[in-house]
Structure 1
Amino acid sequence: MVQRIGLVGCGVISDIYLRNAALFRDIRFTACADMRRDAAEQRATEYGLQALSLDELYASPEVDIVLNLTNPDAHAAVALKALDSGKHVYGEKPLATSLEDGRRIVETARGRGLQVGSAPDTILGPGLQTCRRMVDDGTVGEVVSGVATIMSRGMEHWHPAPAFYFRPGGGPVLDMGPYYVGALVTLLGPVAKVTAAARVGLPERTVTAPGPNVGQRIAVEVPTTVHAVLTFAGGAQVTLLASWDVWKHAHLPIELHGVSASLRVPDPNFFGGRIELAKDRDAWEATDTSGRFFGKPTYPFDKPVHANFRGLGLAEMANAIENGRQARVNGDWAFHTLEVMLAILCSAQEERTVAIESTCERPAALSDAEAQSLLADGRAAEQRRSA
């Protein structure tokens, strides 16, 4: 049975979900809502949806799953309202901005027999899944150490309304951290403890992105440079560098070092990418995922460079609901990731090591065949012919 999707939050990120929806067999968008009625009406016109008020969408019998694409500080309120209305929820990252709200979401869903899913679903792409197989089959061996880096100059130069990135609930850890921490937990299992240091780089940011907020000055309220060491329950120690105060750098997104090999993991912000493996000290062996369906460059739309199939996790959750199993990018995984990120910020503020109380199962591996089975019939047939 196709799961009918009601979209809440019609901002920038909603377009890629709506564009990609036609790829998948088990989802169909029926309605959208936004606090700005004109934004909902614009998306409704573009994609043939019904523009509703928020309360109308929560109550609609034509909505099975609420897709929550609001700003982070509204994630919990929207998710809980949807769950209280009997809807499953899939949301953009992070799950919430506080541990209490994250726990309420997961516990409410469990008590009502509903599912919670959360971005980033990039962990389901062939980039991370190929790395996962290299870890699982012993190619890399026991992972001893690693480095993950999130570095840029910030958001104000491209996002038309970036103020929320620099307020509580934002910052590089909670905004970009879900991609990196989520990927690391998928590869290595749950985190046991973290130690971190942090600071604010620029105390004020000026919006230069085209739009109505050009020239706006934003007071920075959260750390914009954070260094952390994550100790995993399995023993691996990974250094996470997260900063929006960097002009340019030469660091790779994720590099892991095992007893048998070193592994360069592609950018977890996307679904594909180039994987490199070194079994000796001489050379890297490269694996390119661009020939696989969910590894094909699709973004930016005018000159594709990266594989962007956001919506894969939503489609996988819809399939899980239909088949009575737990979604891969599920609430327990998202909650553990959230606790790790909040613990990083707490560790930096309080200058102490913070133990992680929650745990989670690693999301089940997703094979190419399983991923392709989520495609609409025409797309699946096309993929089989090209395989």
Structure 2
Amino acid sequence: MLTRARPAVTAGPAPDLTVLGGDLPVVLSDGTLTDHVNLDYAATAPCLSAAADAVNSILPWYASVHRGAGAASQRCTLAYERARQTIGDFVGARPDDHVIFTRNTTDALNLLARALPTGTTVVGWAGEHHANLLPWRGTVSLPVPRSAAEAIAALQAALEAHSGRNVLVTVTGASNVTGEVWPLAALTEVAHRHGARIAVDAAQLAPHRAVSLAADGIDYLALSGHKLYAPFGAGVLAGRADWLDAADPYLAGGGATAYVAPVTDGDLIGYAVDWNSGPARHEAGTPNLLGAVALAAVGAALGAADRDALAAAENALVERLRAGLATLPGVEELRTFPDGHDRVGIVSFAVAGVAAADVSAHLATRHGIGVRDGLFCAHPLTERLLADASARAGADLGPTAVRASVGLGSTPEHVDRLLAGIAELTG
């Protein structure tokens, strides 16, 4: 277990929050060159220069982690465990929490699903990303709420009906479809009042807002490096140790074992295993050192930044985009909660009479803009929101939507170019 004494904050140089790829040239359909505009951060964010620098710094020393006495191996082991400490600080882990490196949010939530005590009831909402919808068994599925208050009331009723047993509430921090921020403080309070634990899918929240296990009372938190400017194949599950230490290892293999001995039964052979406790229990195999180091570099950079100022700048971009979309005929934004609800830098919309795939292709080939079209790995939610948007518009908006998402490096000019490209289709 790690002890995380937070150092005193002192004034220093502003962190470098430059992302790579901001000046990539792309060829348009008419043969001209333009700079690429990335408005697809919600799928995979660009790499922060600090993450690339951290990887390049450790690469000459790259060696085994936890398994060697040589200088390179010792250096890499130290870098890996320091990365765990840094990410623990970034997510506000408590002293006795575990910080387990995984591949991504999906992997982290599947790990937690495997670690639940037998008979645990999982309570969640039907509108989750598939990563937080499909791993669970024995789920109480609550309908997609129309407001934050409705979400809180539905959870209250569900927990009253399932008292007296292990219960895990699982919820997104911010929707990957609409960007809307869920009422985590209130949901956490309701869960704890009924003796339940709460797990947060922070894949879309952590890149945009500060989140803290300790300060927010969250029991478990999952995130992905590739959405957090560290696209090197690492994610994290952080949270309370007891369920994780009591569970069978997520993967069986080297690193998870303290001791292995053969056991024979006639001509059959098996193995008696003493499993490690702590994060190592669920990190079998050679760990992703580069992913951990990259993710820690981003955590350190964002941890030293003014997150409120970053959120305010991002909110200005989102409001610019939403206001612009509202002026375009036939364009309808998707939303779960009432207009004006708090959100991060994600906006999904549909254009009446134009297929979502054609919208994204037009933006890419005519304007050099990258967005996403489809159902965004949240099929039940996006289909419901498209039906709602079609009803508001009085027109069938089609089976899929377009999503634009912003982050570090996004500018008002990027938003304006997107709006101009859509205006060509609607004018």
**TM-score, structure 2 normalization:** 0.27
Q: Which is higher, the Rg of structure 1 or of structure 2?
A: 2
**TM-score, structure 1 normalization:** 0.30
Higher relative contact order (CA 8 A, sep 6+): 2
